[in-house]
Amino acid sequence: GDPKVPVLYQVERTRTGKSFSVRSVKAIQHGKPIFTCQASFQLSQGSPVQHQFTMPAVPPPEELLTQEELIQKFLQNPNLAERYRKHLNKIQAEDVPIDIKPVNPPDVFCWEPQEPKQLFWVRARGYIGETDMKVHCCVAAYISDYAFLGTALLPHRQYRVRFMVSLDHSMWFHAPFRADHWMLYECESPWAGGCRGLVQGRLWRRDGVLAVTCAQEGVIRVEPAPNQSKL
């Protein structure tokens, strides 16, 4: 989409029930759809059928470095090749409104394949407060897309990304949360093939409650890296 051009939203009332309702939304710019969404809503209901996975045991965010601090650490290495230094400086210059603390950051000097799993502590920068829960859900949707599809590339670090974009993104909201509080983002990629990758994610509150589940499929086109040495 173009942030300089107004967006026209067409909303269709697909279904309106007593407990569940569905709305279909199409966002249009320049007369063409740029985004489609199907949103389901439910009235709050109690149920004796309840369970969830167990939150991974990880160090608290206070004990970890931010993504900016990790990048700065890499940049201090005098042997870092200039092209990788430029790439890291470009990442550092991005104005990302998210605080990110990787639990097990990948080694920038290592090209060995890694398991397609990542863990991040994430939160929105700044104060959002006790506002409408829908605001926190919108912020979580933004957070959930950051570095998500890249999980599928961890076993294939010998390649350089030529093109990567999301095809679809789904989210299920399970429990109230604050997007400006630290949450653990657990990401994994169970499958990749046919120039596509599938990733799944879980956003955990610090108290161990599973707040959000995510899934995304995207196009991933790669090419062999010209030189695997970063030194």
At 180-206, the pLDDT tens digits run 999 999 999 999 999 999 999 999 999
Residue 172 Cα to chain centre, angstroms: 14
Q: Is the pLDDT of residue 230 over 70?
A: no
Contact present, 137 and 196 (Cβ < 8 Å) = no
Q: How many CB atoms lie within 10 A of CB 139?
A: 19
Catalytic residue list contains 145:
yes
Calculate helix-pair angle for 82-93, 67-75, nearest 10 degrees: 150
Same domain? 188 vs 199:
yes
Lookup result for tokens 């710019």: 29
Catalytic residue among 24, 29, 114, 166: 166
Q: Which of 145, 168, 180, 229 is catalytic?
A: 145
Residue 76 lies in a domain: yes
- Specify which residues 204 forms β-bridges with: 184, 210
Residue 74 lies in a domain: yes
Statement to judge: residues 103 and 36 lie in one domain: no
Do 87 and 109 share a domain, yes or no? no
Does residue 202 sit in the same domain as residue 123?
yes
Same structural domain, 83 and 107: no
Determine what percent of the chain is predicted with pLDDT higher than 90: 76
Pair (140, 66) in one structural domain: no
Residue 56 covered by a domain:
no
User: Is position 54 within any domain?
Assistant: no
Residue 115's domain spans which residues? 97-230
Confidence of residue 109 (pLDDT cuts 50, 70, 90): low
- Average pLDDT over all residues of the chain: 91
Give the tokens for residue 87. 């790439």
**Domain presence at residue 48:** no
For residue 8, what is the domain's CATH number? 3.10.129.10
Q: Are residues 69 and 138 in the same domain?
A: no
Considering the domain architecture, whether residues 84 and 147 belong to the same structural domain is answered as: no
Q: Verify that 143 and 79 share a domain, yes or no.
A: no
- Classify the phi-psi angles of 66: left when phi > 0, otherwise alpha if psi is within -120 to 50, otherwise beta: beta
**Can 216 be counted among the known catalytic residues?**
yes
Q: Is the pLDDT of residue 76 over 90?
A: no
Q: What is the mean pLDDT of residues 32-46?
A: 95
- pLDDT-based confidence at residue 103 (cuts at 50, 70, 90): very high
What is the tens place of the pLDDT at every residue in 128-137?
A: 999 999 999 9
Domain annotation covers residue 123: yes
Quote the CA–CA distance of 157 and 147 in Å, as a whole number.
15
What's the confidence (pLDDT) of residue 227?
63
Spatial separation of the C-alpha atoms in residues 128 and 143, rounded to whole Å: 14
Tell me, what's the pLDDT at 71?
Answer: 85
3 occurs within a structural domain: yes
Among 51, 70, 95, give the residue marking a domain's end: 95
What pLDDT score was predicted for residue 228? 53
CA distance 69 to 66: 5
Q: How far apart are CA 204 and CA 213, in angstroms?
A: 9
Question: Are 138 and 192 contacting, i.e. CB atoms less than 8 angstroms apart?
Answer: no
* In a shared domain, residues 197 and 163: yes
Q: Domain check: are 182 and 131 in the same one?
A: yes
The more confident residue out of 70 and 196 is 196
Domain count, the chain: 3
| 50 domain-assigned | no
Known active-site residue 144: no
133 and 112 housed in the same domain: yes
Query: Confidence band (pLDDT; 50, 70, 90) for 99?
Result: very high
